[in-house]
Amino acid sequence: MRVLALYNIKGGVGKTSSAANLAYLAARSGRRTLLWDLDPQAAATYIFRIRAKVKGGGKRLLKGDREIESAIKGTDYEGLDLLPAEFSYRKMDVALGDMKKPARRIAWLLQTLEGEYDDVFLDCAPSISLLSESVFVASDALLVPTIPTTLSLRMLGRLDRHLAKHRRFRRVEVLPFFCMVDCRKKLHREITADSGSRQDLLATTIPYSSLVEKMAVRRAPVNSYAGWSAPAQAYERLWAEIDRRVPA
């Protein structure tokens, strides 16, 4: 089971859109896929038209009182399931702090799904917290959508340093990619052109598009209703690249 987390310390960088589209593409290629919405804003849950409600709340889910399996919902797409988020997830960090080995919690919960899914996508909330550390431990790769601005690149460096500090984060691979790239902006053009600075940077960039923003209106992945469009095509290339880079 391959675990891929969409993560960035910053918000509004295209994490949820990327998670929804990549998970959709993984499932379409025949892989049994789960998307776990870990963000209390529950945007991914909303996009897939699922009620933002987990019986017993996030705390009980983390504690393992309730089987994670029974909270999973099927989406409208074959092979793609979703574990919904709800607003109480904002308190998950506090709950996690009271538990034993909090950094291993997510990995431990995912173990119970071994054999049932080929790919698990984690859509994380923007922040660095106990919960995100638990995500780092559980994941094979952190897919980091990054807007090509100076500040975003600075935050990427910050993440690198944080991950380098602890031995338990060594396993996770960091794969940033440029997202919401607006070719009308000079800065975006310059930064994406100068991609040689980071070896781990994925080659595919996702262009800015109002079609992606409309996902919240259509409540569906952009690849499902506008497969011909530039962002959808970019997501296909991105998924092919990730699939190659992170061995299943």
DSSP-H helix ranges across 98-174:
105-111, 130-138, 150-165
| Phi-psi map region of 7: left, alpha, beta (phi>0 left; psi -120 to 50 alpha) | beta
Residue 72 makes contact with another protein by CB under 8 A: yes
Cα–Cα distance measured from residue 225 to residue 162, given in angstroms and rounded to the nearest whole number: 39
Q: Which of 11, 64, 67, 76 binds another protein (CB under 8 A)?
A: 76
Tokens standing for residue 176: 């940033």
Q: What distance in Å separates the CA atoms of residue 167 and residue 137, rounded to the nearest whole number? A: 10
Pairing status of strand 80-83 against strand 73-74: antiparallel
Work out whether 247 is an interface residue with another protein (CB under 8 A): no
- Residue closer to another protein (CB basis): 29 or 127: 29
- 50 to 69: interface string for another protein, x by CB under 8 A: xx-----------------x
**Exposed/middle/buried for residue 61 (C-beta within 10 Å: 0-12, 13-18, 19+):** buried
Nearer to another protein, 42 or 174 (CB): 42
* Cα 131–chain centre separation: 14
From the CB of 81, what's the least distance to another protein, in Å? 6
Q: How far is the CB of 30 from another protein (least distance, A)?
A: 5
Q: Which is nearer to another protein, 71 or 92 (CB)?
A: 71
- Which of 173, 235, 181 minimizes the C-alpha distance to 200? 173
Residue of 1, 9, 10, 29 that binds another protein (CB under 8 A): 29
- Exactly one of 93, 118, 182, 213 binds another protein (CB under 8 A); that residue is 118
Residue 75 or 134: which CB sits closer to another protein? Answer: 75
Name the site residues for another protein (rule: CB under 8 A). 29-30, 32, 48-51, 69, 71-74, 76, 81, 115, 118, 219
